[in-house]
Structure 1
Amino acid sequence: REWLEWEDRRRAAAQQCQSQRCPPSSRAQLTRPRRSCRDPAVHSALFSGDLQQIQALFQDEDTANMIVETHTAPLTIAAARGYTDCARYLIQQGAELDARVGGRAALHEACARAQSDCVRLLLTFGAKRHTPLHNACANGCGGLAELLLHHGACAAVPNGAGHTPMDCALQAVQDAPNWEPEILFAALLDYGAQPVRPEMLRHCANFPRALEVLLNAYPCVPSCDTWVETVLPELWQEHEAFYSSALSMVNQPRRLQHLARLAIRAQLGSRCRQAAARLPLPPLLRDYLLLRVEGCIQ
């Protein structure tokens, strides 16, 4: 696997160098008509991930970019189903990374279906990253979101509906059980997301660790009126220390240590996570800078 990832990076770099040396002419940049194919054998090979059949059927750039029976691009099908070897072959044959045949590009589909290996492959070859981040957040895929952020996705850009990745993550908290939303929230904040609007805190009121991360992004704890009534009684009893500390700190001055943390984070901006790793700090202090969960608001 390490060799394959190295080879993918080498090929991606070679393609980039080639495109810089020989930029396409204005004529070549025009959108060419795509071939359509309704052959069931093509459809079957793509949906089953039959690499040998795909190698036999897609042997040049035209075939790699044709529209298949489901009105979708071959690369989008392979990426959505997690067929990494098939996706790699199609890319090497010239499949367009960001083609939106049928609605969404290959990276969007791979993120929506949590196909992390295909996401990594597409990112290596330079697929565009912004809207896929919204998909990853909306599906509660923290690992994919961090991968996209690490490759340059913007944590603050809104999608077509005006929602930021943080908005999508907040709305996914209730819909994606058995995950750790605090990890995704911290990553988004580390990569430049703004603190959430106080009225949005109700979405994670029953996730105390996630709520703590979001409250620590403010210089002062905002009013709890929007979320306190939604906390389940049994959860309040289990995490009473945290919830009581949050209530007691509403509109109260925070510690100088916390304000210093926010000042440093503001200075680092969207580079906070990478910069923190390079700062000569003890591990505990570095974790504190990156909004480590402590179990109470101080």
Structure 2
Amino acid sequence: MSSWDSPPDYPLSSDLVRRLKSALATGDKDTVQELICTEVEPVDAVIELANDDWMKEPSAQLPTGALLGLWTLEYKRELTTPLCIAAAHGHVICVRHLLSHSADPDARPGGRGALHEACLGGHTACTRLLLQHGADPDLLSAEGLAPLHLCRTPASLGCAQALLEHGATVQLECGPGRDTPLHVAARYGLDEHAQLYLGRGARVDARNGRGETALSAACGAATRSPDEHARCLRLCALLLRGGAAADARDEDERSPLHKACGRARPSLCTLLLLHGADAGALDYGGASPLARALHTATCAPPAALQRTVQALLNHGSPLVWPDAFPKVLRTCAQVPAVIEVLFNSYTKLRVSESWQEVIPEEVYQMHEPFYRSFFALAHTPCCLRHLCRCAIRRLLGKKCFLLVPQLPLPETLQTYLLLEPEGVLC
């Protein structure tokens, strides 16, 4: 009988569990240590910390989803051991005490072992203690994840180092997505972890179950803070220096550039383009990186979207088909700088006054100077300056970004050639 089916040594209703949960919730380390080290018996006792088995409790208040028939028929029961609790909260003294009393370092009644918990919490000292007492560095959790795959924060770098020193497999593919530890580091923007894994022989272009390389995973990951942006950029630069293919496609034929554009990350897009990424690549749905960028218009920061589109066009991205421009105008109406950059990339695009219908009135009023200048072009021929810009850009082609700054021209003309928006069209 599995520990799931067997009654726990300390069920949720027990006095010890109530006191233990209260101490954990308040961060009372002394009480946690006292309970685990002096009251829990045996040393590998199974402790129940949570149970939402409402199917077995007729008086339970059912969640709305259950009443609607949408709730899962399974229930969650959180079973653990004293060693897992101590490791998860970084209680080194407790971990040492339990191990000295022959606690099993690989016990995992709830699906994760103590080593998994220590790595998730970034507790290096606990990780080293467990490994020194024989914990399996490649032990798989119930989800099929090894400890290295749970090193997901900057604080877990020491844990990853300890695991590798004790024989963890750096190229282990596991979990539902068949990720390697390098994929995990890439997805969480952990540049120092990635450097560690590459130094230990991780293959920079290894594929996971979705056909992604680590570079692809990094480019598709969400970043929220400037620090996360910077770490991700450093990580991608590291992968590219290590030989990562800038144009590696996943199972949907999406390149890292597609994914970076889908997040409107201009610095990352520029890095990929400078390493030879194809600005005109099409995924299985027929979308180009430019199309992926434009799809973010409603959620991306306007400046980031504008710089992303500008970078693509300055590296030779194919233009939006002229007949599709009204659709782009509708999608990007709230970001007139993007409309300006796109419009200026054409030698001649015939503006129709009927296009004004696709722009919400409140948006038009908010950006009236720009849109007034835009629709004035319906009756105005292209100016000579714009035609000269187009001729030079056509001559330089995909190398505009690199060659324009080398031209003996004033900076204002260089930025004009590189489609820097001015706020109005003329």
Q: What's the TM-score, normalizing by structure 2?
A: 0.57
Q: Which of 1 and 2 has higher RCO (CA within 8 Å, sep 6+)?
A: 1
State the SS of the aligned residue for 2:152: helix
Correspondence for 1:231? 359
State the SS of the aligned residue for 1:86: helix
Distance of aligned partners of 1:54 and 1:225 in 2 relative to their CA distance in 1, 3 Å threshold:
farther
Cα contact 1:37–1:66 (8 A) shared by 2: no
Matched residue type, 1:284:
T
Q: Which structure has the highest helix share of the two?
A: 1
Cα RMSD after superposing both structures: 2.5
Distance of aligned partners of 1:41 and 1:187 in 2 relative to their CA distance in 1, 3 Å threshold:
closer
Cα contact 1:205–1:228 (8 A) shared by 2: no
Correspondence for 1:121? 238
Matched residue type, 2:172:
M
C-alpha distance after superposition, 1:191-212 (max 9, x if no partner): 0012212324232122111101
State the SS of the aligned residue for 1:250: helix
Q: Of residues 46, 50, 53 in structure 1, which corresponds to 2:151?
A: 46
Distance of aligned partners of 1:96 and 1:173 in 2 relative to their CA distance in 1, 3 Å threshold:
same
For 2:185 and 2:193, locate their aligned partners in 1 and report how far apart those are by CA, in whole Å: 6
Distance of aligned partners of 1:178 and 1:216 in 2 relative to their CA distance in 1, 3 Å threshold:
closer
Cα contact 2:171–2:180 (8 A) shared by 1: yes
Distance of aligned partners of 1:48 and 1:240 in 2 relative to their CA distance in 1, 3 Å threshold:
closer
1:41, distance to aligned residue in structure 2 (A): 5.9
For 1:226 and 1:107, locate their aligned partners in 2 and report how far apart those are by CA, in whole Å: 44
1:168, distance to aligned residue in structure 2 (A): 0.3
State the SS of the aligned residue for 2:295: helix
C-alpha distance after superposition, 1:168-222 (max 9, x if no partner): 0011111324543221111110000122123242321221111011011111233
For 1:37 and 1:274, locate their aligned partners in 2 and report how far apart those are by CA, in whole Å: 49
**Would you say how many aligned residue pairs link Structure 1 and Structure 2?**
263
Q: Of residues 350, 368, 373 in structure 2, which corresponds to 1:222?
A: 350
C-alpha distance after superposition, 1:24-58 (max 9, x if no partner): xxxxxxxxxxxx86266624652345223323333
Correspondence for 1:8? none
1:275 equivalent in alignment to 2:403: yes
Matched residue type, 2:198:
I
Matched residue type, 1:220:
K
Q: Of residues 150, 153, 170 in structure 2, which corresponds to 1:64?
A: 170
Matched residue type, 2:189:
G
Counterparts of 1:1-298 in structure 2, within 5 Å, are 38=140, 42-43=147-148, 45-49=150-154, 50-58=156-164, 63-70=169-176, 71-103=178-210, 104-113=212-221, 114=223, 115-130=232-247, 131-177=255-301, 179-198=303-322, 199=324, 200-201=327-328, 202-224=330-352, 227-250=355-378, 252-298=380-426
Distance of aligned partners of 1:177 and 1:295 in 2 relative to their CA distance in 1, 3 Å threshold:
closer
Q: Which runs of 5+ in 2 are unaligned?
A: 1-137, 224-231, 248-254
Rg comparison, structure with higher value: 2
